[in-house]
Each structure stands twice: as structure tokens, then as C-alpha cells.
Chain A
Amino acid sequence: MFRTVLSQTKILLSQKGAKITFYILLIAVLWNYFLNLKEYSNVDKASMPAITEFCVCSGNNLIGGYVISFICFLVVLPGGISFAIDKKLNIDIYLKARCRGKYRYIISKMIAAFISTFICVSIPFLIELLLNACAFPVESSVKMQSISNVFLVRDGGGYNPHAFMYDAYMYHPIMYSFVRIMLLGLFASSLAIISMAFSCVHNKFLAYLMIPVYFLASIFMQTKFKVFGHKISHNYYGYLLWDEGYVTGEMMTWFYVLIESIVIASVIFILVYEWRKEV
């Protein structure tokens, strides 16, 4: 099984879709990085913002807003459409034979799609984090430069102390950035699995595989509904862009619980659908 997953992941990563996603995100982060270098080249260390605010995904970054609104299309490319392409080109028959079983093929395909999307989405942001950590002072932050500001931050004055990973955002920016990048990768890979499930039912046009992902993203844009009894307001940009104020830990947890529940339902749907087809 491990070998099958590995070979499938290698195939997916070598395909054009994965490369397009990776390079679009890489260009965006490098563009942002060079803009930051230009802007802060003559700025004193004490007046610099925290490292989290340099990243593409930071709250008020224009390129970040663009990338996040675009990411719900991009996630389909590395893994989401792979299942449909295999079926269309009839490669799935050979792959099922080589994987020694239908279910081994499907499960390995899902894991490979998950991993390849995760890699394509998170690696560019990790590269950016590394570049930022090398270029800008990690410990500096305007919010922490004076003792009065430190007390203000500690007491939550002007900020929301219940915000998601508030302490890490203020005191351990690199750890915060790393966790948020991992969460973004998880979100993207989950969306890829959802579009994969849709490809079982409808794979006439590959563009239509964007519809379920897109529908979910637009539902998260500006709606308010309960998730397992917890009423949370859904704000797509609020969850994916880094901000110390808007999203609380509870909201973030339930948002990911909702997403992962949909993913589990999608996986069950794929398995049941393929099983019924066999019958």
C-alpha cells in the first residue's frame, strides 16, 4: 500500500496541474517577498512589524486576498481532477490491476491526491516563511517594542485574547505561521478530496469539478449556521488569512471539524459509489 501511495503521489506531482498550482503560488509569495524587501529595506529594526505580517496570508495583504480567493480553483488541479482523468483515459483499469485491487487503487488515489495537494499548497508558503525568517528580524514587532505595549498585549487591550493561538501570534510568530500554513494545506487537501468525490458522479467536463469546492467556499463567505450545535459565523477570508482579531479558537476548531466531516462523508461516498458500481 505504501509503495502504491508513493508511486501515485509521484505521478500526481509530476503532472502539469500540480506544477501550475505550485508555480502560481510560488510566484505570488516571491512577488510579495520582494515587495517587502523593497518596502522595509531602510526601516529601523524597532519599527518593523512581526514576521507574521510579512507573509502573503497575513490579514491586510492584497496579494494574500487574491491568492486566497483563487485557491479554491487551484486546489482542484493537483489531485482533485486525477480520478476523473484516469477514468476518461481508461488508465484506471490498468492501475487497478497493478494495484492488485479496486479498493487499494481508490484508497491510494485519495491519499495521493491529499498528499500532493498538501505539498503543492504548503511548500510555497513554507519557502516564504523561510525567506522571511532569513531576511527580517524574527524577534521584532511594533506591538512588542515598548513595555506599555507588552502589557497591552498581555491584557488583550486593543486585541482579542480569545483569538486563535493568540499567544503564539504575539510571542512565537514562526510557530504560529507554521501551524497556519499546515492548516491551509489541510484545508486545500480536504477540498481536493471533495472535488474527487464529485468526479465519481459527474466527470463530463473537468471544469465542473470546481463547482462543489466553489460552492463550499461561497457558502463559507458570508453565512452563519450551526456546526454540531455551535453557532459560528463563516468567513472564508477570516479563517484563511492570519489575523489576531477575528477568528477565535472555538470558531476555528468547529470550522475544521465541519470541513473534515465533509471530507469523511466524501470518502465514504467514493467507497460506497465504487462498491455499488461493481455490483
Chain B
Amino acid sequence: MKVYWKYFMIPFLYGIIFSWNAHMNGHGIIDICQIAVNQGNGYIWYCTFEAVLETIKTNFIYYMFIIVFSTYIYRHFCNSSVYVFSRCENRMKWYVRECLKLFCFTVIGNIAVFAGSVVTALLGCGMTSSKESIWIVFVYFAIYSLWIFASVLLANIISIIKNSVIGNLTVMGILNFLLLLLTSIDYQNFTSREHIKMRSNPMSYTLLSWYKMNIEDITGIEKLEYACNPWMGIIVLSVCCMAVFFIGAMVIQKIDIIKNNTDN
């Protein structure tokens, strides 16, 4: 566990690097929710080609976190799984505990990215907050923690089945592919079919601008007809997390040790 603490410097530095230009050269005091909106892809109206690239750019911060923590559960299987599991009476209990720790790390990682941006905002242009903006920040943390947790856990599970490189490649491939699928939606002629297409894609819940949250003053985007309640996003992403969690539970019960592993 101690090994992973030093990696929290990476999201913190990312937060500083990517907000440096905007905050140090910015004019006027910003609201705290503006940082959440920036980091939560809050400026995406329609998912066009440019919007997808912009989203991938923003998500790069989180992808780094996924790479680092994609070995958190997997490492137990690399060379010491015999020792770990021979002493472990209930493997399910062990797995639940590891998942909870991983979720805590995910939340802390998110806070680290946010804290980096807050530091530059405080140094550069000053910051205010209100009750409304705290709610937006909470939604950002909830949505992004759940999304990253599901991705990291999936990367761990695929790493256990194949190896860590394939695990990461698959997860990044899936995430980017789901984003790409959002471009197939016809936003001009938004029928119920398009609505189903959008809402069945988990990546659509990671765009903060697609929620009913009164962020129009910040983003300049008028109220979208397909905007949904933030609680719905939290519920859908929780369901995704649970699905990945149960798949992981099945995999972990079956695999004792990884043969011919290059990560040992």
C-alpha cells in the first residue's frame, strides 16, 4: 500500500500542469465548480470529431491513473499469490477489502487532480464558492470516481487473465471506442432511438454538460433536451461498477496463480 502513495504526486502535478495556462493568465475570480466543469468535460455540447478529441485530451489525466493502479489487485497474483491465498480463509472477503481500498485510492486520486487545479487557481486568479457550486463539485467527484474505479478494476481483471499491458490496452481501447460511438448519434434529429443509443453508452454519463445542473452561466451552453438528472448518472455508473465487481469476483475465485507471467 505504501508503494502506491507516491503515485498520487502524478495526478497532483497533472492538475497543476494542465490548469497552469488558464489560471495563471486568466482574468477575474473563478468559481470552484468551473474547475470541476473543466476537468469533467463540461464544455461538450454535441459529440463531434473535435469534441471527441477534446474529451480524450481531458481524459488523459485519468488514463494515467488507470495505468498506475491497474496493478493494484493484479500484483498479488504475480509472484506471491500462493502465500497470499494460502493464508486467506475467505477470498471473497479479501477481494471486497481490496476493492474498497482501490475505490478510496480512486477518490483520493480525483481529489489530487482537483487540488492541483485549485492551487493554481488560488495562486493565479482567486476562487469563490457557493452552495450550488459545491453540489456540482460533488457530482463531478461521484461520477468520475465511479467511472475511473470501474475502468481500473476492469484493467486489473484483464491483467489477471492476460497480462498488464493487454489489460491496459483493452481498457483504453474500450473507453475510446465508447466515446467514438457517441459521434454516431444524430443530434439534430434527436428521436427516442437516438436517446436510447446515447443513454445505453456509459461514456455519455461522464460528460458533465449533459446533466441538469445549472452550469449554463459557466459553459455558455443552453439547456440540452437530452440532459439527465445527476443521480441517474451516479446510479448507472454504480451499476457498471457492480457488474465489473462481480465479473472480477468470478475471475478471482477461479485463478490461483498466473503461469508464464512476465510481470513477476
Contacts and interface: CB of A to CB of B under 8 A. Distances in A.
B168 A221 contact: no
B57 A206 contact: no
Interface stretch (A61-69, A169-177, A186-194): A61-69
16 contacts: A20-B169, A62-B52, A70-B173, A88-B263, A205-B75, A205-B164, A207-B159, A207-B164, A207-B167, A210-B165, A211-B64, A214-B60, A217-B60, A219-B17, A222-B21, A236-B57
A261 interface: no
Given A89-B262, A207-B164, A214-B67, A62 B60 contact: no
Contact of A77 (B21, B165, B263): B165
Interface stretch (B86-94, B122-130, B141-149, B175-183): B175-183
Nearest to A84: B262
A76 interface: yes
A172 to B, nearest CB: 26
A217 B49 CA distance: 19
Contacts of A65: 49, 52-53, 56
Contacts of B71: 205, 207-208
Given A65-B49, A69-B56, A207 B70 contact: yes
B206 interface: no
Interface in A144-176: none
B263 A206 contact: yes
B67 A208 contact: yes
A88 B163 CA distance: 14
Given A206-B164, A206-B262, A218 B67 contact: no
Contact of A218 (B49, B52, B53, B60): B60
Interface residues of A, number: 37
A169 B237 CA distance: 45
Interface in A23-73: 60-62, 65-66, 69-70, 73
Interface of A: 17, 20, 60-62, 65-66, 69-70, 73-74, 76-77, 81, 84-85, 88-89, 204-211, 214-215, 217-219, 221-224, 236-237
Contacts of B177: 66
Contact of A74 (B49, B68, B169): B169
Nearest to B264: A88
Contacts of A207: 67, 70-71, 159, 164-165, 167-168, 263
Contacts of A224: 21
B205 interface: no
B61 A218 contact: yes
B172 interface: yes
Interface residues of B, number: 35
A60 B17 CA distance: 28
Nearest to B56: A69
Nearest to A61: B49
Nearest to B78: A205
Closest 7 CB pairs of A and B: A207-B164, A218-B60, A69-B56, A205-B71, A206-B165, A207-B168, A221-B57
B176 A69 contact: yes
A85 B53 contact: no
Contacts of B67: 207-208, 210-211, 214
A208 B64 CA distance: 10
B245 interface: no
A89 B262 CA distance: 7
Contacts of B183: 62
A223 to B, nearest CB: 7
Interface string B25-64: 0000000000000000000000001001100110011011
Given A89-B262, A205-B75, A210-B165, A70 B49 contact: no
Contacts of B173: 70
Contacts of A211: 64, 67-68
B14 interface: yes
A73 B169 contact: yes
Contacts of B168: 73, 207, 210
B18 interface: yes
Contacts of A81: 165
Contacts of B64: 211, 214-215, 218
A31 to B, nearest CB: 12
Contacts of A215: 64
B157 to A, nearest CB: 14
Contacts of B61: 218
Contacts of A60: 49
A188 to B, nearest CB: 15
B262 A88 contact: yes
